[in-house]
Structure 1
Amino acid sequence: MKAATWTGVNEVSVEEVPEPQLLNDHDVILKVTQSVTCGSDLHLLGGYIPFMRAGDVLGHEFIGEIVEVGSAVRHRKVGDRVVGAPFAACGNCWYCEQEQYSLCDNGNANPGITEGLWGQSPGGCLGYSHAMGGYAGSHAEYIRVPYADVGTFVVPEGISDTRALFASDAASTGWMGADLAGTEPGDVVAVWGAGGVGQMAARAAMLLGAEQVVVVDRFAERLQQVREHVGAETIDYSSTDVLAELRERTGGRGPDVCIEAVGMEAHSSGAAGVYDQVKQQLRLQTDRPTALREAVMACRKGGSIFTLGVFAAMVDKFPLGALMNKGITLRGAQVHAQRYIPELLERMERGELTTEHLATHVLPLSEAPRGYQMFKDKEDGCVRAVFTPGG
């Protein structure tokens, strides 16, 4: 079958790879109808997560049709149209029982790498390096989905493939950030990053009752999407002082909730951005925490911050003093998609949550290298590139 594979730093190639097989009785094989790029994939492409091997299949956000089921699968059948969760989660361990699915004790087949990096291993993520389980990804004609009764969700007939596709990761990640940050009715919420996850975090905050939601970015087309499709306010950080702007918009107090949806390759036009770039390229730090630093400084005293952007290891010049002395709560997580997808599908069916506008470029799988290049370089207003393996 054809699949989009990682073949080196900043290199994607569509290659012929073996079709997936059932390896466990709880697996299903999915015929992929749509699979979409994610900002976290760019960290793999850029070589910032050094556990990729040439030929690894990329992708972890997808929708498709079940074509084969394992003998122990009880709640899915051949022909079901399903959206898949990015993280493999068994559903039975202590973490899954707490609905912390991306921390599943049984989802990562290679726990030693991340135990060495972080002290303990999270679960395994499809298409996201051998540190996260070594699973083949979804930018392919077919994908094996482990723990299918837990990690796949039947899509109601009234929801289009493209809308449901983003429930897999972008919408569920964004919703998790707004939820676990403790967003309450009447809150002021600031979101750093107007990509797919940032937009979905902003929309989630609004649906959870936030009185005011502000999204920070520099790309005009993404900020326009926020205003038009999400209904939130925007700040272009390249043309104003974000901290001063947020103080003014919040009566001098600062946002109650700050959501960081940028991650380890955050951009900054100031001296701090140059500093971070140099340190990262020299491997003196692994991550650029520009947006997270700004969120700490902007957040009101006693407020909360949730980081959704992917970070790998170490950052420099982190304002820990501000975090501690302002009494801020800082949380973060990989997506617990299984916890949120059912509710998101319901809201999508009711029209409360729309995502089609994120799919700015829909391409056949054969054009995956071009799709990733546009996505990485923000060419032609690309917010997300969606691949159709059958196209």
Structure 2
Amino acid sequence: MRALTWQGTSKVSVEDVPDPKIEEPTDAVIKVTSTAICGSDLHLYDVLGAYLDKGDVLGHEPMGIVEEVGPEVTHIRPGDRVVIPFNISCGHCFYCRKGYYAQCETTQNKDQQKGASLFGYTKLYGQVPGGQAEYLRVPQAHFGPIRVPNGLPDERFLFLSDVLTTSWQAAKWADIEPGGTVFVTGLGPIGQMTARIARHLGAEKVIAVDNVPERIAMAQRHGIETLNFDEVDDVVGAVLDMTNGRGADSVVEAVGMEAHGTPFQEFAQRAAGLLPDAVARKAIDKAGIDRMAALRTCFAAVRRAGTVSIIGVYGGQADPMPMMDLFDKGITMRMGQAHVKHWVDDIMPLLTDDADPLGVDDLVTHRVPLEEAPQAYDMFKKKEDGCIKVVLKP
């Protein structure tokens, strides 16, 4: 089959790879009909290459048609249309029973001291072949796949794999209350959907910051108040002005380790990426630092006794945190990978509603064949051609 593979820093290519097959009784194989490029994939593209091998298949936002199932898979069958959560979880371990599917003990990567395995995401998370491919082997398929109805296009359901469930968790963990104020940093796909979900949950004022005109325009179409950090000298001051001087009740950090505005951290990240893999892994594991500008903006913009929900991906082990300010303000913080299946029942009725209350139909900006994935990665990375969200069609 054809699949998008990692070949080196900032280099991916579509190659012939072996067809997947049933290996365990809890496996399934699906024919992928749609799969998306995630902002987290760009971390592999640039920063986390030390944890990849040449030829690794990327991608963790797939859906498709079930081709084959193992003997212990009974809730889906060949011909079913399914979305595959990005985290691989068993559904019955200690953490899964509590709804913390991203920490599944059955697929947890204890040798790396990391949580549940993820599709297409490095040695840290199981090195499981990903979904930017024609076919995908799905481990733990007795639990993971989400059956979706026919009759609506893939893109109405595809983002249950990551974007929608991640954004829903980000909003819920921000303690959004009806009539409250919400501030979102970053208007990539996660920021876009988090801001819309915040409005759906009853926030009176939702403010978001970015500097890409197409992202800002998309957010404004959905009633989000926006700030362009290239045009506003003091983003935090602007948020304070818009929230009676207190700051936002709830803040969502939707940027992560690649934030603008921290040149030293950016240099350190890129320098680590140029080291030999073994040396780079040690440097990242022991002394890695992230670009912290977006996170510091969140800490400054949240009101006292407010909540910061961190959904942008971070990987540093030596990040400087303003602990005195956080303690003094009494900030609540929640963070982590989305527990995808925990949120599906809340979101599904909104997707089958013809009115599309979350505006899911207005997110994808580019649809390209799988064979053009390398060009799409480059375009997405450079934010060219108004690119916000890319869906690949195998």
- Normalised TM-score (structure 2): 0.93
Select between 308-317 and 279-288 the one with higher mean Cα deviation.
279-288
What is the DSSP-based 3-state SS (H/G/I as helix, E as strand, rest coil) of the residue aligned with 2:371? helix
Answering whether residue 147 of structure 2 is matched by residue 154 of structure 1, we say yes
Confirm or deny: 8 A CA contact 1:189 1:205 kept in the other structure: yes
Q: How does 1:290-329 map to 2 (within 5 A)?
A: 290-329=293-332
Deviates more, 1:80-89 or 1:317-326: 317-326
1:314-371 superposed Cα distances (whole Å, 9 cap, x missing partner):
3544212111110001110101111112332220111222323322111110001001
24-33 or 342-351, which deviates more: 342-351
Residue in structure 1 matched with residue 226 of structure 2 by the alignment: 234
Kept in 2, the 8 Å contact 1:256–1:304? The answer is yes
Secondary structure of the residue aligned to 1:357 is coil
2:9 is matched with 9
SS of residue paired to 1:380 = coil
CA separation in 2, counterparts of 1:153 and 1:42? 26
Among 366, 370, 382, the alignment partner of 1:377 is: 382
- The answer to whether the Cα contact below 8 Å between 2:85 and 2:341 also exists between their aligned partners in 1 is yes
Which range moves more in the overlay, 367-376 or 180-189?
A: 180-189
The 3-state SS of whatever aligns with 2:362 is helix
In 2, distance between residues paired with 1:225 and 1:29?
Answer: 36
Unaligned runs of 5+ in 1: 116-120
- 2:266–2:290 contact (8 Å) kept in structure 1: no
- Cα displacement (A) at 1:282: 4.1
Deviation at 1:208, TM superposition (A): 1.2
* 3-state SS in 2 of match to 1:31: strand
Q: Deviations over 1:365-386 (max 9, x none)?
A: 0001001010111010111121
Q: State whether residues 163 and 354 of structure 1, in contact with CA within 8 Å, keep that contact through their aligned partners in structure 2.
A: no
Letter in 2 for 1:234: T
Provide the rounded CA distance (Å) in 2 between the counterparts of 1:106 and 1:286.
30
1:85 corresponding residue in structure 2: 85
Aligned: 1:281 with 2:270 = yes
Q: Within the alignment, does 1:99 sit opposite 2:88 as a pair? A: no
d(CA) in 1 for partners of 2:241, 2:316: 34
**How far is 1:244 from its partner?**
0.8
Does structure 2 retain, via aligned residues, the 8 Å contact 1:158–1:349?
A: no
Please state if 1:111 is matched with 2:85: no
Q: Any conservation in 1 of the 2:8–2:49 contact (CA below 8 Å)?
A: no
Which of 354, 360, 363 pairs up with 2:365?
A: 360
Whether the 8 Å contact between 2:265 and 2:289 is mirrored in structure 1 is no
- Counterpart CA distance in 2 for 1:41 and 1:103 is 20
| Residue of structure 1 aligned with 2:178, choices 179, 185, 188 | 185
Q: d(CA) in 2 for partners of 1:242 and 1:134?
A: 39
Paired AA for residue 359 in structure 2 = T
Check conservation: 1:67, 1:78, Cα contact below 8 A: yes
Q: What is aligned with 2:21?
A: 21
Find the counterpart in structure 2 of residue 118 from structure 1: none
Aligned-partner Cα distance in 2 for 1:345–1:149? 20
| 1:49 to partner: Cα distance | 5.3
Report if the CA contact (8 A) 1:192-1:259 is conserved: yes
Say if 1:266 and 1:289, in contact at 8 Å, map to a contact too: yes
- Partners of 2:153 and 2:359 in 1: CA distance: 10
Which residue number in structure 2 is paired with residue 340 of structure 1? 343
CA-based RMSD of the aligned residues comes to 1.3
Write the mapping of 1:236-251 to structure 2, written as runs, cut at 5 A: 236-240=228-232, 241-251=234-244
How far is the alpha carbon of 1:23 from its aligned partner?
1.6
- CA drift of 1:186 comes to 1.5
Taking the aligned partners of 1:231 and 1:166, their CA distance within structure 2 comes to 21
Over residues 275-324 of structure 1, what are the superposed CA-to-partner deviations in whole Å (9 max), with x where a residue is unaligned?
32233334464311211111001110000101111111235442121111
Deviation at 1:25, TM superposition (A): 1.1
Query: 1:291 is paired with a residue of what secondary structure?
Result: helix
| Residue of structure 2 equivalent to 1:253 | 246
Shift of 1:102: 0.5
Q: Which amino acid aligns with 1:386?
A: V
- CA distance in structure 1 between the partners assigned to 2:49 and 2:91 by the alignment: 27
Report the identity percentage. 41
User: CA offsets, 1:27-61, max 9 Å, x none?
Assistant: 11010000000001111110335211100001001
Aligned length: 377
